[in-house]
């Protein structure tokens, strides 16, 4: 995510069991699924980010993504949002989901469930283009503009760049990070979390039609 950095909050990397126990709990507030795509071709020494031009997080750097539309799968939504915001497509076998991150915000009842993907190739070698939402720019992995991004990005971008799968939860009060939990996990666990989210959304869509 990308927004101004508030005061540095305490954070820690938990054990796998402790972190996933909280992250996978069925109890809790309502959840909203979103996507986030980071483009980083081999050897993963650079990453494509976008400067948000309007709306939530305007003026700050982020990956490309957004909400899942009714009837969409999460992977389908990730591809669509990337094309809409950066004008590029990614071959299906070059898009790997590496994480599901839960964001909670003080005073907001809904947990933002962000499905994170790493893309390792761009279809046709096309250059990213500016859209109404985002202005794309390549950054060297050593020069990522963390001072103009959400503070949690510092914690998990190294995992993303090496293609590690992980689960995470970050608690915020506005832009100040209050707490964090991060745990590496297997690709199968990430896939299971995505499938659970898609099943939940199908149930929610069906309930609204009744």
Which single residue is written with the structure tokens 């094309």?
83
71 vs 25, residue with greater confidence? 71
Q: Average pLDDT of 68-89?
A: 97
pLDDT at 1: 62
Residue 159 lies in a domain: yes
Q: Of all residues in the chain, what percent carry a pLDDT higher than 70?
A: 87
Residue 6 lies in a domain: no
List, for residues 45-78, the tens digit of each pLDDT value.
Answer: 999 999 999 887 778 899 999 999 999 999 999 9
Q: Which of 6-15, 77-86, 155-164 has the lowest mean pLDDT?
A: 6-15
Q: Of all residues in the chain, what percent carry a pLDDT higher than 90?
A: 80
Q: Average pLDDT of 169-196?
A: 97
Q: Length of the chain, please?
A: 210
Residue 185 lies in a domain: yes
From first CA to last CA, the distance across the chain in angstroms is 35
Q: What CA–CA distance (Å, rounded) separates 41 from 96?
A: 12
- For 171, the domain range is 16-209
Task: Specify the DSSP class assigned to residue 64.
Answer: B
Residue 10 lies in a domain: no
Q: What CA–CA distance (Å, rounded) separates 119 from 94?
A: 5
pLDDT at 25: 45
Asked whether 47 and 138 are in contact (CB, 8 A), the reply is: yes
What's the burial of 98, exposed, middle or buried (CB within 10 Å: 0-12/13-18/19+)?
Answer: buried
Residue 110 lies in a domain: yes
Q: What are the structure tokens assigned to 97, written together?
A: 């989901």
Reply yes or no on whether the pLDDT at 19 is more than 50: no
Q: What are the structure tokens assigned to 65, written together?
A: 């993504």
Q: Hey, is 98 helix, strand or coil?
A: strand
Count structural domains, the chain. Answer: 1
Confidence of residue 80 (pLDDT cuts 50, 70, 90): very high
pLDDT at 28: 66
Q: What are the structure tokens assigned to 19, written together?
A: 């972190």
Q: Average pLDDT of 128-152?
A: 96
Strand partners, 182: 168
Average pLDDT, the chain: 89
Residue 8 lies in a domain: no
Q: What CA–CA distance (Å, rounded) separates 67 from 113?
A: 10
Q: What CA–CA distance (Å, rounded) separates 78 from 34?
A: 8
CATH label of the domain that carries residue 185: 3.90.79.10
Residue 178 lies in a domain: yes
Helices and strands (H and E) in the chain: how many: 4, 8
pLDDT at 9: 40
Residue 82 lies in a domain: yes
Reply yes or no on whether the pLDDT at 12 is more than 60: no
């Amino acid at each position: 995510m990308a927004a101004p950095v508030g005061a540095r909050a305490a954070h820690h990397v938990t054990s796998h069991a402790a972190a996933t126990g909280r992250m996978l709990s069925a109890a809790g507030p309502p959840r909203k699924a979103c996507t986030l795509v980071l483009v980083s071709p081999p050897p993963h020494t650079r990453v494509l980010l976008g400067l948000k031009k309007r709306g939530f997080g305007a003026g700050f750097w982020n990956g490309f993504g957004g909400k899942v539309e009714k009837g969409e799968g999460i992977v389908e939504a990730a591809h669509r949002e990337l094309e809409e915001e950066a004008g590029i497509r990614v071959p299906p076998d070059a898009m790997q989901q590496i994480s599901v991150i839960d964001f909670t915000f003080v005073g907001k009842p809904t947990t933002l469930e962000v499905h994170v993907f790493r893309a390792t190739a761009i279809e046709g070698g096309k250059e990213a283009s500016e859209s109404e939402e985002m202005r794309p720019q390549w950054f060297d992995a050593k020069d990522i503009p963390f001072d103009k991004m959400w503070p949690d990005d510092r914690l998990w971008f190294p995992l993303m760049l090496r293609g590690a799968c992980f689960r995470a939860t970050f608690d915020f009060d506005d832009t100040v990070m209050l707490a964090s939990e991060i745990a590496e996990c297997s690709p199968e666990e990430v896939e299971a979390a995505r499938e659970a989210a898609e099943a939940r959304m199908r149930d929610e869509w069906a309930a609204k039609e009744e």
